Amino acid sequence: PKTDIVFLKVHKSASSTVMNILFRFGETHNLTFAFPIGGGNQLFYPQHFLARFVQGFSPRSPRRFNILCHHMRFLQSEVQKVVSHSAIYFSILRNPVQLMESSFAYYKGTSAFSRARSLEEFLSQPYHYYNPADSDSHYARNLMTFDFGFNPDGEVSVKRVQLMLKAIEASFDLLLISEYFDESVVLLKEMLCWDLDSIVSFPLNIRDSSTKSSLSNTIVEKIKDWNRLDWEIYTHFNRTFWERIDRDFGRERMQQEVKALRERRAELARTCLQGMGSVAPKYIKDSSLRPLQHGSAKILGYNLNQGLDKETELMCRRLVTPELQYSSALYKKQFARKPP
């Protein structure tokens, strides 16, 4: 199994679920994580990543970490200072239309979104609300482009788009597609030589459907125009994703692997979860399993079955622990005070 991994955690793209997969694998295999200085869940985002943001990194005696997966704005030359040269790089993309709808609910408090009553209103005259100079403007336009390290307000010329796609292809070994999450993690499993249980997961940090809004065709087109760079990235890598499956894997084998994954997930849900699914935050009984609530989104979580044996309970708890709680537990473990 590969143990040196860089995951560029793109916002609002099922990346918290991927983080859980990496946290569990890292914990069970005793791997080291590149944590932000002082803990927390962001590597001084939205600045471009620098190696010195990582706790325990020193240029004099560069220490390599196994897994780099917290929120960062990608800058490969700096990333290479904290992970081994053989590390596998991957990220995840989401359809920019749904990504924008989700960001509007989740980042409602940002300068660009806070004064617009609805996404429609924002898109009717975006420059009335959006100012590229605001420190949090990146949440409102071409968020994936920004996370990959590029300028979200750059012109959309054929040449520039080509350069951007080539740069991403040169840096990353695999780009997952959140709309095809199961197929994505099957490819990931194959690339990392992991077993099925390492990649099984329950969806984390997802919104209650009552806070999701449906979008008219006009709005969909406006979102694509406003996020044209993201749209170019997404459509290109969605296409190459399926080309890769056809070339290296085959659709039939993919169907079998996805089926096995879903069966295992259902089996774990029966073992671990009360009611076999997610619940609204107010119904989560164990406060340590309650995810952070943000913006106008309602983030769902889970209740564990009672009476599980110790080992099963631990496995189930790891599967449903929200990202912030899990991250801080791993941080404490990795930087436990050594006895004098």
Report the CATH number that the domain containing residue 81 is assigned in CATH: 3.40.50
Report the percent of the chain where pLDDT is more than 70: 98
Task: Give residue 340's pLDDT.
Answer: 56
**What is the average per-residue pLDDT within 212-223?**
93
What element of type H or E holds 5? Answer: strand 5-8
- 304 pairs with which residues across the strands? 273
Task: Give 193-210 pLDDT, tens digit per residue.
Answer: 999 999 999 999 888 777
User: Considering the domain boundaries, does residue 243 fall inside one?
Assistant: yes
Location of structure tokens 């107010």: 282
User: Considering the domain boundaries, does residue 339 fall inside one?
Assistant: no
Q: Reply yes or no on whether the pLDDT at 339 is more than 70.
A: no
136 SS3 class = coil
Task: Give 29-48 pLDDT, tens digit per residue.
Answer: 999 999 999 998 999 999 99
CA gap 206, 11 in Å, rounded: 12
Nearest alpha carbon to residue 174 among 192, 164, 193, 188: 188
Q: Tokens at residue 198, please?
A: 């390492």
- 54 pairs with which residues across the strands? 36
DSSP one-letter string for 234-297: HHHHHHHHHHHHHHHT-HHHHHHHHHHHHHHHHHHHHHHBGGGS-B-GGG---GGGPPPP-TT-
CA gap 1, 191 in Å, rounded: 9
User: Considering the domain boundaries, does residue 239 fall inside one?
Assistant: yes
Task: Tell me how crowded residue 336 is: count the other CB atoms within 10 A of its CB.
Answer: 8
User: Considering the domain boundaries, does residue 203 fall inside one?
Assistant: yes
Pairing of strands 88-93, 5-8: parallel
Number of domains in the chain: 1
Query: Chain-wide mean pLDDT for the chain?
Result: 95
Q: Tokens at residue 165, please?
A: 């796609």
pLDDT classification of 338: cutoffs 50, 70, 90: low
Q: 182: burial class by Cβ within 10 Å (0-12, 13-18, 19+)?
A: middle
> What is the domain range of residue 73?
5-334
**What is the average per-residue pLDDT within 312-323?**
97
Contact 302, 278 (CB under 8 A): yes
User: Considering the domain boundaries, does residue 225 fall inside one?
Assistant: yes
Task: Give residue 210's pLDDT.
Answer: 72
User: Considering the domain boundaries, does residue 340 fall inside one?
Assistant: no
Task: Tell me how crowded residue 169 is: count the other CB atoms within 10 A of its CB.
Answer: 13
Q: Tokens at residue 15, please?
A: 């990346």
User: Considering the domain boundaries, does residue 137 fall inside one?
Assistant: yes
The sign of the torsion formed by the CA atoms of 230, 23, 53, 38 equals: positive
User: Considering the domain boundaries, does residue 40 fall inside one?
Assistant: yes
